[in-house]
Amino acid sequence: MKKVKLLLVTLITISLIFTGIGLAVAGKKLVKLPLCLMPEHELFFPWYAKQKGWDKEEGLDFELLYFESGMQQLEALPAHQWVLGITGGVPHIFGALRYNTYLLGIGNDESFCNCVFVRPDSPVAKVKGAVKGFPDVYGRADLIKGKTFLVTTVSSAHYAMSTYLKVFGLKDKDVVIKQMDQASAIAAFKRGIGDFVCLWAPYSYKAEDNGWILAGNVHNCGAAIPITIIGDKTFCDKNPEIVAKFLRVIFRGIHKLADEGATDENIKLFQKMYKDWAGMEYTYEQAKREIEHHPVFKYKEQLKLMDDSKGESEVHRWERLIAEFLHANGRLTDKELKKVLETKWITDKFLKKVKTPIPSYK
């Protein structure tokens, strides 16, 4: 009987100990972090972290806020709706100039899915690698000049068009531009309107399914469009350790995709993410392409990309080219372009504060 009582006391004691630990963990005050996000590839990093509880392991509580566009994200910053997040490289130029945001790191490279397409019967589709240094780009200046491009202006697709033209020594003024939203552009091109159509994902996937020929994308035309990890400058400067913890969580997801790629598990996770968070239905094949067409950079790679100790860093170069594009299209003043070239808002100081090694994603 004494042994039974002793066993019961022991079990109760153990139970109380673990209950106490549970209460202590539950009672630990988490730092709430409102994040600005869009229903795109880079959403995976904070979304999956939230599923796994990685944010809480760092003492954080991610709040995933939905935005339709990068500019919508930035316009919400003055009202303090968010403090950290992920946005496109094009809108972040405006974020740095007009909304006082830092570029903290890179979410992914979306250069491969911002594309210029032609139809299979286009003369352009018969000429590949005509310009030295651009072996995968189709076309020739005389076949392109004066032709009609369907494009959503001042967007990543427009940037794809401009980088494509630049390969052949041409500018926007050398072609006819028809402004259309993405859905209208792809529908019009199907009906035979226009000579070229400029698209981003998932419309670029639909173009591939239609059998259209990829004349060029931002990557093979020698530029890049990064998805940028951003933060409110005031918040970041006041809370560098919190920013470092946030980045540490994000890199766990980045490392997962970098190491595993489009596995069956990851493809299904992407389908679930889009459906549950954004109400978007992605087919298995579309989700597969979404992973394959967005290269990501691990922690050590990003330190190299952001390193400007020997001159302009690779990230600086990417942002400079985007800024020059915006300036050429009248969206940046001479003064703003000069400020972009100084690139004081691109910083690796928070990356360097990240506690390493990055925890396993498994």
Over residues 33-44, the pLDDT tens digits come to 999 999 889 999
- Amino acid, single-letter form, for residue 269: L
CA distances to 131, 318, 323 from 305, rounded to whole Å, are 28, 10, 18
Q: Are 152 and 181 spatial neighbours (Cβ–Cβ below 8 Å)?
A: yes
Comparing 131 with 74, the larger pLDDT belongs to 131
pLDDT in tens, 95-123: 888 899 999 999 999 999 999 999 999 99
- Report pLDDT for 330: 82
- Report pLDDT for 343: 73
Span 161-187, average pLDDT: 94
Span 308-335, average pLDDT: 89
- Report pLDDT for 213: 98
Phi, psi dihedral angles at 317 (to 5 degrees):
-65, -45
For residue 38, what are its two tokens? 């869009």
Asked, as a colleague might, if the bond just before 202 is cis with ω within 30 of 0, I would say yes
Whether the pLDDT of residue 170 is over 70: the answer is: yes
Phi, psi dihedral angles at 52 (to 5 degrees):
-90, -10
Comparing 324 with 17, the larger pLDDT belongs to 324
Residues with Cβ within 8 Å of 127's Cβ and at least 6 positions away in sequence, in order, are 138, 139, 140, 143
Rounded distance, CA 13 to CA 119, Å? 74
Q: Which string of b and e fits 273-307 if b means at least 16 CB within 10 Å?
A: bbeebbeeebeeebbbbbbebbbbbebeebeebbe
Whether the pLDDT of residue 15 is over 80: the answer is: no
- Report pLDDT for 21: 34
Domains of the chain in sequence order: 29-109+225-353 (3.40.190.10), 112-217 (3.40.190.10)
Task: Read off the pTM.
Answer: 0.82
| Pairing assessment for the beta strands 196-199 and 115-118 based on DSSP bridges | antiparallel
Span 175-200, average pLDDT: 95
